[in-house]
Structure 1
Amino acid sequence: MARWSDYTTGERIKILRGKSIRQSDLADMTGLSLPTVQQAEQDKRLTLQTLLRIADAIGVDTSVILGQQAPRRAMEQQDRTMMRDLSRAVHDTAAGLVPEGVEAAGLDELRDITDRCWRLYWDGRYAEAGAIAAPFITSAAARLREQAAGEQSPAWGVMSDAYRLAGYVANLMGNRDLAYAAIGQAQVAAERGGDELRQALVTSGRAWVYLRDARLADALRLAEKSAVDIEPRFSKASKNELVAFGSHVNFAAVVASRTGDKERTADYLSQSHATGARMGGEHQAHGTLFGPVSATTQAVGINLALGNTGKALTLMKSIQDDDLSALSGAATNRYQMDRAMAYADAKMWDASLDVLEKALTKDPEWGRHQALPGVIVQKIGKAGTARLRRVSELIGVAPTGANGSLPSAARTAV
């Protein structure tokens, strides 16, 4: 399996350019001549100016082109551009820099944008959510700058939401440094706004960053703190409060399951199911969706993490197709991945591949940002079927039965 550093600089430029951008397109994007671009890809001549222009045009660090750093999985050119713009928005506004000409939108308009971004995110349209989040952050920063002293708390709340969204997109796209930076700024903004609920939401978001960074003990500590801080008085709790608590106590169960703590996991799952039952249906608030269906579908993945395949299969039988219509696109897709994994764990190869292929075909945009489909394919790689090959092609992963390898750098770069 070729490593990213094994390719020449010219080969890496060609891979990063991808099939959607021709050499002539790259020349137009950079302001370079076509022969200059051709020479760079042929490893004949690459000046510093050419390197910088190409890196800026295709949205990567120069270190990626030079082979010092591998490209992030499933990142296409538009994804890289989006992440670059999002990074600039986060870091510039954190330093107090707001671009000239940015209008200070009203608070109601900014709240509407917040809701729109979260809807996109939970529908699995991460690149689109991130593309809107960048100007959203700068517009929110402009609003904060215009607010009179003593009247800034609502604007700080919007800033916290914008940074938290940026952190979530960055974390999912594998840009851990930006995720840490954005969630850190979300915490500062929530504290300055004096909003205890937002502070708890941000704490949970930081726990998710820790979880994906394999900091399990830290993730569990923060997930538990967030759930405790959010916990309402059930007798007087509104649906919005129950959404916040249910989703975050459920996340605490997720983290506890990753540590193998069955007792803690069972306790949090019990609280999650009780909250969902009290709500009676799915409800969206605070950038998330929760209810009885969410509690049950997420319990499937939690039990799989604990090795309780039988329990996961039993839970799956209680979930009907009509139930899934209440979930967001991303939540539905994730549940289908958990179903496929449960079938794979039970060595029900055909059922696993059937679920996996249908989900990836239905929503390839969501699938290309996920690692779990590749894990499932590797797990059932011994079943060398035509369907397995089709699914492998959908996610760019070679099954173990084919050659025993994970995706090559050329497949994952674009």
Structure 2
Amino acid sequence: MPQWSDYSTGERIKILRGRDITQADLAELTGRSIVTIQKAEQDKALSLPTLLAIASALGVDASVILGQQAPRKALEHSDRMVIRDLSRAVHDTAAGILPVDTEPVALSELQETTDKCWNLYWQGRYIEAGAVVAPFLTAAAARLHEQPAGEQAPALGVLSDAYRLAGYVANLMGARDLAYAAIGHAQAAAERAADAMRVALVGSGRAWVYLRDARLPEALALAEKSAADIEPRFSRATPEELTAYGSHVNFAAVVASRMGDKDRAGDFLSQSHATGARLGREVRAHGTLFGPVTATTQAVGIKVALGQTGQALDLIHSIQDVSELTDAARNRYAMDKAMAHADARQWDASLDTLEEALRRSPDWARHQTLPGVIVEKVGKASTARLRRVSKLIGVAPGTQGFLPATAKTAL
């Protein structure tokens, strides 16, 4: 598999343009002629101003086009543009820079937008969520600016939520620096609002950024602290409080499992199951969903990570209905289920589950790494089904290249 630096500059432009943007489209986006774009892609001529214009139009740094750094895996043009707009919104609002024509909106309307963003996020529609979060951040910052002294806490809470959403989208799309920045601003806003629940929610969000950045000990310490800070008394806890706590201890179990710590993962899982049982149903609150089904389905992934394949399969057999889960949670469970079947060398069952999830939610799948891991594991079973699944995630059986399918068909 060629490395990104092995391609010529013209080939890299063509790959980044993908199938959705024609040469004519790129010419219009850059204000250049089609001939100029053709010459650039043929490595015949590329001036610095044209290079910078192409980089801006494609939503990448010029160093990516020049091969000095690789593009993020599976990012298409629309993804890159969303990340760019989100980055501008995060950094500008944090610096107090707002467009001159920004109109502050009511807090009630901002709360409705918060709910809309979370709904998009948990449906796995990350690009749409990111596209909504960028202007949402600006509107929330404008609302805070207009709030009278002593009445800023509600606006700060909404602003914290907006930054947390931005951090979650950026983290999923591999924009780690942006995720760190956004979650840091979310924490600052939550602390200014003196909102203990939001501070804990942001802490758990930061732990997730740590997890994806391979900072496991720090992720576990922060996840554990965030859960402890909001642990309710079960006898009088509200469903919303139990939902937040259950989500936190469940995530702590996930981190412990990634570290191979079976005892701590088991302790957190016990608390997760107890919280789910206390709720008795799935409850949506604080930007998340938790209940007995969530606790059990996420336990499958935890058992897989710990190498406890038999226990994972037992849990899978006990799960009858996942319709209450969000789309993203249902898809994630499908990945964990497929991985458990692969670990048990049940190749057909693994590929059946994986293919169904990929076809059901192709946009969600583009931002996940587990499908490629599963295909790699099942690679020894050369079947037509394996080839179909490999094509869906844009990798050849037995390989895990970093380029998306659009890139591999562009040359």
Say whether the fold is shared (TM-score over 0.5). Answer: yes
Partner of 1:266: 266
C-alpha spacing 1:265/1:410, structure 2 compared with 1 (3 Å)? closer
Instruction: Tell me the secondary structure at the aligned position of residue 256 of structure 1.
Output: helix
- Mapped partners of 1:149, 1:43: distance in 2: 59
Q: Is the 8 A contact 2:121 2:129 kept in 1?
A: yes
Structure 1 CA distance, aligned partners of 2:36 and 2:115? 45
Q: Is the 8 A contact 2:73 2:404 kept in 1?
A: no
Q: In the alignment, residue 60 of structure 2 is paired with which amino acid?
A: V
Read off the aligned partner of 2:288 and give its amino acid letter. Answer: T
Of the structure 1 ranges 339-348 and 27-36, higher mean CA displacement relative to structure 2 is found in 27-36
Moved over 6 A (4+): none
Structure-1 separation of matches of 2:387 and 2:403: 19
Counting only pairs closer than 5 Å after superposition, residues 341-380 of structure 1 correspond to structure 2 as 341-380=339-378
Q: How far 1:410 sits from its partner (Å)? A: 6.3
- The 1:60–1:350 alpha-carbon spacing in structure 2 relative to 1, beyond 3 Å, is same
Identify the residue that residue 100 of structure 1 maps to in structure 2.
100
**How many Å apart are 1:34 and its aligned residue?**
1.1
Which of 382, 385, 409 lines up with 1:384 in the alignment? 382
CA contact (8 A) 2:8 2:43 kept: yes
Shift, 1:88, TM fit: 0.3
Aligned to 1:213: 213
Instruction: Report the equivalent of 1:41.
Output: 41
- Structure 1 segment 192-231 matched on structure 2, within 5 A: 192-231=192-231
Question: Cα gap change, 1:348/1:94 in structure 2, threshold over 3 Å: closer, same or farther?
Answer: same
Larger displacement relative to structure 2 (97-106 or 280-289): 97-106
Aligned CA-pair RMSD: 1.0
Q: Tell me the alpha carbon deviations over residues 323-381 of structure 1, each in whole angstroms, 9 at most, x when there is no partner.
A: 21100000000000111000000000011011111111111111111100000000010
Alignment of 1:256-335 (within 5 A): 256-320=256-320, 323-335=321-333
1:125-164 superposed matches below 5 A? 125-164=125-164
Shift of 1:412: 7.1
Structure 2 residue corresponding to 1:407, chosen from 375, 397, 401: 401
- Conserved? CA contact 2:93–2:137, under 8 Å: yes
| Aligned-pair identity (%) | 71
Which amino acid in structure 1 is aligned with residue 109 of structure 2?
Answer: E
1:395 equivalenced with 2:393 (yes/no): yes
Paired with 1:12 and 1:61, the residues of 2 have a C-alpha distance of 12
Matched, 1:2 2:10: no
Task: State the distance in 1 between where 2:104 and 2:56 align.
Answer: 28
Aligned-partner SS, 1:284: strand
In structure 2, how many angstroms separate the alpha carbons of the residues matched to 1:247 and 1:285? 10
Contact kept, 8 Å, 2:394 with 2:405, in 1: the verdict is yes
Contact 2:73 2:402 in 1 (8 A): no
**Alpha-carbon separation, structure 1, partners of 2:407 and 2:144:** 38
Contact 1:118 1:287 in 2 (8 A): yes
- What amino acid is the match of 1:409? L
Aligned to 2:338: 340
Code of the aligned partner of 2:141? A
2:105 partner amino acid: A
Q: Are the aligned partners of 1:75 and 1:413 in contact in 2 as well (CA < 8 Å)?
A: no
2 CA distance for matches of 1:410 and 1:248? 33
- CA–CA distance in structure 2, aligned partners of residues 174 and 184 of structure 1: 17
Amino acid at match of 1:249: V
Q: CA–CA distance in 2 between the matches of 1:135 and 1:2? A: 39
Quote how far apart the aligned CAs of 1:97 are: 0.5
SS in 2 for 1:324: coil
CA distance in 2, matches of 1:138, 1:181: 16
Aligned to 2:380, the other structure's residue is in SS state coil
Preserved CA contact (<8 Å) 2:18 2:406: no
| One-letter amino acid matched to 1:336 | A
Contact (CA 8 Å) 1:262, 1:306: kept in 2 or not? yes
- Contact in 2 for aligned 1:2/1:409 (Cα 8 Å): no
Change (3 A) 1:410 1:67: farther
Displacement of 1:411: 3.8
Q: Relative to structure 1, is the Cα distance of residues 139 and 65 closer, same or farther in structure 2, using a 3 angstrom cutoff? A: same
SS at match of 1:214: coil
CA distance in 2, matches of 1:410, 1:55: 19
Distance in 1 between residues matched to 2:141 and 2:30, nearest whole Å? 30
Contact kept in structure 2, 1:23 and 1:37, CA below 8 Å: yes
What are the Cα deviations for residues 87-114 of structure 1, in whole angstroms up to 9, with x where unaligned?
0000111111011111111111001100
Query: Structure 1 pair 410/241, CA: closer, same or farther in 2 (3 Å)?
Result: closer
CA distance in 2 between partners of 1:63 and 1:127 (Å): 24
Structure 2: gaps (5+ residues): none
Tell me if structure 1 keeps the 8 A contact 2:19–2:406: no
Q: Cα distance, 1:279 vs. partner?
A: 0.4
CA shift for structure 1 position 408? 5.3
Preserved CA contact (<8 Å) 2:74 2:404: no
Q: Does 1:124 align with 2:124?
A: yes
Residue in 2 that maps onto 1:250: 250
Distance across 1 between alignment mates of 2:266 and 2:13: 50
For residue 178 of structure 2, what is the aligned residue in structure 1?
178
Contact 2:301–2:336 (CA<8 Å) still a contact in 1?
yes
- In 2, Cα distance between equivalents of 1:248 and 1:396: 34
CA distance in 1, matches of 2:209, 2:407: 23
Q: Distance in 2 between matches of 1:406 and 1:193?
A: 45
Which amino acid is 1:142 matched to?
A
Deviation at 1:224, TM superposition (A): 0.2
Q: Is the 8 A contact 1:125 1:365 kept in 2?
A: yes
Deviation at 1:409, TM superposition (A): 3.4
Q: CA deviation at 1:148?
A: 1.0
* Residue identity matched to 2:179: A
Q: What is the rounded CA distance, in whole Å, between the counterparts of 2:238 and 2:136 in structure 1?
A: 29
Instruction: Write the distance in 2 (CA, Å) between the matches of 1:230 and 1:372.
Output: 31
